[in-house]
Structure 1
Amino acid sequence: MKRITASLSATVATLAASAALASPASANAPASFEPWLQRSAAQCSGISASLLAAQIQAESDFRTDAVSRSGAMGPAQFMPGTWAIWRTDGDGSGTSDPYSIPDAVMAQGRFMCHLYGQTSAGVRNGTMRGYALDLALAAYNAGLGAVQRAGGMPSGGEYSTQTQPYVAKIKALEPRYRYLDGGASPLHQAGLDFGSLAGLPF
């Protein structure tokens, strides 16, 4: 009986944790980020401030001094080579700094707009399977080439252990930041296309 009770308790705890991630509690982005998230999202249709906020939380937890073991920099975690291409002087200070909130967030939106344009075209012409926004997030994490080679959500190895959970985490976090969108969000989709994510404990 004790073993059954313990098993039930563990199951309930697991389900509760999954529900908390799937329906996150209300939370706010740091005030210093909010206007830049909204301005960055306005660079193209299909990318929302709530998505960018969730992505930054997943990338750095809004830390401006974040540096990854692989050398990714700032709140949006740009690798040096990627920053060299997509860097932006968001606040007009005369410099482009990946640790600056305006610069990093505006560059993040600019890069996401590009990726979303590429994955949207791929889904339309049949060279990619899945939802364009999911694939754009995967491309931000793993590179557009990985998504193109897979013809959709990449899987296997680190794609299954890092990229797919990265996409799932952002999709789970995004609803808590929808206040930044004024109630609108591009994420109202008929379903999610996470492939092998179905069996993972999110």
Structure 2
Amino acid sequence: NKEVMEHGEGVVRHIASNMLEERSEELADLGRDLATIEMYAESEYPRMRYDEAVDALQSKGVEIEWGQDLDYSKEKVLTQDFEVPHFLTHYPRVAKPFYHRPDPEDQKYVLCHDLLAPEGYGEIIGGGERTWSEDEILERIDEEGTPRDPYEFYIDIRRYGGVPHGGFGLGVDRVCTWLAGAEHIREAIPFPRDSRRVTP
């Protein structure tokens, strides 16, 4: 999980750095403070465990119980005071689907992370390690009460040679929204869809 986070951080910092080098004029036209973008490009991104995030939210008067996932409204409150993106790690096992790998040091948690952008923008990366053991997958599926049949293809991958692996997904539109300082993600999507428009 650590290596996956380091790679994700490198990608985001590279994007911020390239935007400064190649699009600083456009960023300035959008009213962005270039020193802030430079800070995003050059600073290391701190790590915060889920438990710390829950404590921080509760101290701000947000109603959240341990084990709940953090939706956008909670991420927004949490990231208001961030100067740079933060990784949120070690979500509770009960909050994540069966394919997340449990933390070998504390099975109550899984080895996953979200990268939360500052200024209230919230999640821009979601990632972590995946379970590669057939026994662990079956245990987690049964624990959740999920039927096995629809996932036989997935179980087979573990049964016949799963390997340690992890990764992340980066929300390109979310990163663009954040770095551009846009008020809404639809401002950073070439063909946004909404309740009145599905096709471009």
Q: Please state which band the TM-score falls in when normalised by the shorter chain.
A: under 0.3
Q: Which structure dedicates a bigger proportion of its chain to strand?
A: 2
Larger radius of gyration: 2
Which structure has more RCO (C-alpha within 8 Å, separation ≥ 6)? 1
In the superposition, the TM-score normalised over structure 2's length comes to 0.25
